[in-house]
C-alpha cells in the first residue's frame, strides 16, 4: 500500500515540475534566423530637420527621404549569416537656404550631379555579415561601390568634387550604413528573456561624429509569431575630437542625443516588421580658427537635429 508520505512526495515533485514548466513558458528566445535564398524587402521613410545658428543667424535644413532595399540571404549557418543588400530606390527632397533639390536615382537630372552618382549605386550588391544576436561583424564591397559612384563627379571643379564625394560617403558609405543598421536592428541577448526584461549594448558612432551610442531595449509583450520591443538610446560625442564639416571647416562637437524606437518583431526571422524611430540631437559645434575660411576666432555654432523615421521589412521569398 502506498504510504501517505509517498503521495505527498509525488505531489510535491509534480508541483515543482509544473511550476518549472510555467516558468519556462514565460521565457522567450529571440534571435535572427535565416535560410539561404530567402529575400526581404525594406521600405524606408524619414524626415530630418536641422537647425544651425551661425553668427546669430539660424539656418534651417530639411530632408525627406524615401528608399527601398532588397535583402537576400546569401548564406546562413548557426554562427553567422551573410546578407546581400541592394538599393532599389533612393529619393529625397532637400531644402536649405531657399534652395529646393529633388534627387531620384531612377530619374536622370543633368543639373544635379548626385543623381548620376546614386544611379550607379542602385541594383549593385554589397554584403553584411551578422551574428544571430544581431551583432554586425563587417560590411563588405560598399566602399568600392561608393568609389565607383564618385566617378560621376569627375567633371566638377575640385572643390565641388570633394564636397560631393564627402556628401556621398557621409550619407551612403560603409561607416554611415553600418552605424544606421546598428541603430535599426535590435541586438538580442544570448539567453531567454521574459516580459519586462531590459538589456543594453553600446556601439561606436561611425559617421562624421566621433562618440558612442548606448542602446537599451525592453520586451513588452510576445506571442508565438511576434514580439513588441521598446527601445531607447543615448548618443554622445567626444568633444575633443576634431571633425571636418562641410566647406572643409574644422570643428569639435559637443552634441548629445536621445532616440526612441518601437518595434514589432517577426519572430520567424527576427527582423522588425515595422520600426518607428524618433531621434533628437542637440549641442554645439565649435568652428576652429581658419584664415582661409575667414574664421578669425573660434565660433560656437548651436545645432539641433530632429529625425522621424519608419522602416518596414517584408519577406518576399
Q: Assess if residue 18 is contained within a domain.
A: no
pLDDT at 10 over 50: no
What mean pLDDT do residues 88-106 have?
Answer: 88
The reported pLDDT for the residue numbered 36 is: 96
pLDDT confidence of 25, banded at 50, 70, 90?
A: low
Does residue 254 sit within a domain?
Answer: yes
Q: Which residues contact 68 (CB under 8 A, 6 or more apart)?
A: 41, 42, 43, 44, 87, 88, 89
So what's the pLDDT on residue 231? 97
**Domain annotation covers residue 5:** no
pTM: 0.86
pLDDT on residue 5: 56
Q: How many residues does the chain have?
A: 317
Q: Is 278 within the bounds of a domain?
A: yes
For position 177, which CATH number holds? 2.30.230.10
Domain count, the chain: 1
Using a pLDDT cut of 70, give the percent of the chain over it: 91
287: which 3 cell numbers?
Answer: 568652428
Compute CA distances 261 → 45, 202, 282, whole Å. 14, 16, 18
**Euclidean distance between CA atoms 47 and 317, whole angstroms:** 30
Residue 316 has which C-alpha cell?
Answer: 518576399
User: Whole domain around residue 251: which residue ranges?
Assistant: 29-315
Is the per-residue pLDDT at 62 higher than 80?
yes
The residues, any chain, with a CB within 8 Å of residue 130's CB and separated by 6 or more, are 32, 80, 81, 83, 136, 137, 185
User: 239 lies in a domain?
Assistant: yes
Q: Is position 109 within any domain?
A: yes
pLDDT at 42 over 90: yes
CA 238-242-247 angle, to 5 degrees, is 130
Tell me, yes or no, whether 231 lies in a domain.
yes
pLDDT of 7 reads: 46
Q: State pLDDT tens for residues 179-192.
A: 999 999 999 999 99
Note whether residue 68 is domain-resident.
Answer: yes
pLDDT of residue 16 exceeding 50: no
Amino acid at each position: 500500500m502506498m504510504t501517505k508520505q509517498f503521495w505527498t512526495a509525488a505531489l510535491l515533485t509534480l508541483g515543482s515540475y509544473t511550476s518549472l514548466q510555467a516558468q519556462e513558458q514565460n521565457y522567450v528566445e529571440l534571435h535572427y534566423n535565416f535560410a539561404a535564398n530567402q529575400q526581404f524587402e525594406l521600405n524606408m521613410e524619414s524626415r530630418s530637420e536641422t537647425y544651425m545658428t551661425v553668427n546669430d543667424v539660424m539656418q534651417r535644413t530639411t530632408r525627406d527621404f524615401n528608399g527601398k532595399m532588397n535583402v537576400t540571404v546569401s548564406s546562413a549557418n548557426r554562427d553567422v549569416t551573410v546578407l546581400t543588400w541592394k538599393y532599389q530606390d533612393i529619393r529625397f527632397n532637400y531644402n536649405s537656404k531657399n534652395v529646393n533639390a529633388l534627387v531620384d536615382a531612377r530619374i536622370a537630372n543633368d543639373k544635379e550631379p548626385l543623381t548620376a552618382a546614386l544611379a550607379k549605386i542602385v541594383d549593385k550588391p554589397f554584403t553584411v555579415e551578422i551574428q544571430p544576436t544581431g551583432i554586425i561583424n563587417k560590411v563588405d564591397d560598399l566602399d568600392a561601390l561608393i568609389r565607383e559612384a564618385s566617378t560621376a563627379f569627375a567633371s566638377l571643379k575640385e572643390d565641388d568634387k570633394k564636397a560631393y564625394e564627402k556628401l556621398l560617403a557621409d550619407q551612403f558609405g560603409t561607416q554611415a550604413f553600418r552605424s544606421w543598421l546598428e541603430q535599426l536592428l535590435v541586438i538580442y541577448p544570448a539567453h531567454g528573456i521574459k516580459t519586462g526584461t531590459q538589456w543594453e549594448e553600446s556601439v561606436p558612432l561611425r559617421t562624421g561624429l566621433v562618440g558612442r551610442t548606448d542602446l537599451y531595449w525592453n520586451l513588452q509583450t510576445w506571442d508565438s509569431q511576434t514580439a513588441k520591443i521598446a527601445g531607447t538610446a543615448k548618443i554622445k560625442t567626444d568633444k575633443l575630437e576634431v571633425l571636418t564639416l562641410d566647406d572643409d571647416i574644422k570643428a569639435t562637437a559637443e552634441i548629445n542625443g536621445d532616440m526612441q524606437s518601437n518595434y514589432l518583431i517577426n519572430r520567424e526571422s527576427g527582423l522588425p516588421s515595422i520600426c518607428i524611430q524618433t531621434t533628437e540631437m542637440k549641442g554645439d559645434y565649435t568652428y576652429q580658427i581658419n584664415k582661409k575660411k575667414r574664421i578669425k576666432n573660434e565660433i560656437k555654432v548651436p545645432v539641433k537635429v530632429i529625425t522621424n523615421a519608419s522602416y518596414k521589412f517584408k519577406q518576399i521569398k
